[in-house]
Amino acid sequence: MRRVVFNQKGGVGKSTIACNLAAISAARGKRTLVIDLDPQANASRYLLGSSLDGQKKTLAHFFDDILAYKLFPEKPESYVVGTRFPNLDVMPSDPRLEDLQVKLESRYKMYKLREALETFKNFDNIFIDTPPALNFFTRSALIAADTCLIPFDCDDFSRRALYTLMDSVREIQSDHNRSLRVEGIVVNHYQARANLPVKVVEELRAESLPILNAFLSASIKIRESHAQALPMIHLDPRHKLTREFEALYDLLAA
């Protein structure tokens, strides 16, 4: 299963959700890969910690080789880096992705990621983290993925962005990837006792938007998780937020 975590708005938890779902997948014995297409490299830092700084193989090197007209000079798996967590690997990001974007887009290389991932036979689950924009990398991810998971922060700005996002996904489905399926919208930073989040979720459901019935609470613990480069399943397996991530994973795996 190749799953892209996508939202054009920043700060909604894409990297956090992708990495924590991947960590749960790996902890349950599934060979799992995270592909970090965001030049900010938050997912890569989350999973690799300080070892990210010494990586000699990143997605920038992968796309460098694509631009050099080397179809795949090495097996695509050679760009995969192991983490300290069993069964969990990553294709790490690189700030140079920002500079490569224009060249890749002008040469219409959007299908190269899908071609590479179709050769990956050893992974049960692949999670693709994306930048907060509809650009070359997010389009490549949506073209390469089987399903799309949409994080949603409960505020009016996120709600307005959601409508544009759904149109963008439909456009990719129509023009590039007819088999792409929207798995649903993940409500993040949810506060069940606050009026606004409850009202927004009810209104979105009334509009028949695919809100998943597995909410993620706001918690300072996730900042500790980021700081220690430990997904919640490893930092605090009994924490409420860990159980919520597990409930989300189980819902998606059902």
Is the pLDDT confidence value at 137 over 80? yes
Is the pLDDT confidence value at 184 over 60? yes
Looking up residue 207, the CATH number of its domain turns out to be 3.40.50.300
Is the pLDDT confidence value at 113 over 70? yes
Is residue 128 one of the residues assigned to a domain?
Answer: no
Are 41 and 95 spatial neighbours (Cβ–Cβ below 8 Å)?
yes
Crossing angle for the helix pair 136-144 and 97-106, to the nearest 10 degrees:
70
Is the pLDDT confidence value at 149 over 80? yes
Confidence of residue 151 (pLDDT cuts 50, 70, 90): very high
Is residue 85 one of the residues assigned to a domain?
Answer: yes
State the DSSP H helix or E strand holding residue 151, giving kind and residue range, or none if neither: strand 147-153
- Rounded Cα distance between 254 and 144, Å, is 22
Is residue 127 one of the residues assigned to a domain?
Answer: no
How many domains does the structure of the chain reveal? 1
* SS (HEC) of 14-51: HHHHHHHHHHHHHHCCCCEEEEECCCCCHHHHHHHHHH
Confidence of residue 154 (pLDDT cuts 50, 70, 90): confident
pLDDT the model gives residue 72:
55
Average pLDDT, the chain: 93
DSSP sequence for 86-101 = TTEEEE---TTHHHHH
Please give the span between the terminal C-alpha atoms of the chain, in angstroms, as a whole number: 13
SS3 66: helix
* 34 or 11, greater pLDDT: 34
Return the structure tokens found at 114: 């899908």
Residue from 61, 58, 8, 64 nearest 36 by CA: 58
* pLDDT tens by residue, 50-81: 999 988 889 999 999 889 876 554 677 889 99
* pLDDT tens by residue, 95-112: 999 999 999 999 999 999
- What percentage of residues in the chain have a pLDDT greater than 90? 80
Is residue 129 one of the residues assigned to a domain?
Answer: no
* pLDDT tens by residue, 220-250: 999 999 999 999 999 999 999 999 999 999 9
Q: Cα–chain-centroid distance for residue 228?
A: 20
Is residue 37 one of the residues assigned to a domain?
Answer: yes
Residue 203's domain comprises 2-122+135-253
pLDDT the model gives residue 71:
55
DSSP sequence for 164-200 = HHHHHHHHHHHHT-TT-EEEEEEEESB-TTSHHHHHH
- What percentage of residues in the chain have a pLDDT greater than 70? 98
Is residue 172 one of the residues assigned to a domain?
Answer: yes
pTM: 0.95
Is residue 108 one of the residues assigned to a domain?
Answer: yes
Is residue 106 one of the residues assigned to a domain?
Answer: yes
- Rounded Cα distance between 179 and 42, Å, is 29
Mean pLDDT score, 87-97: 96
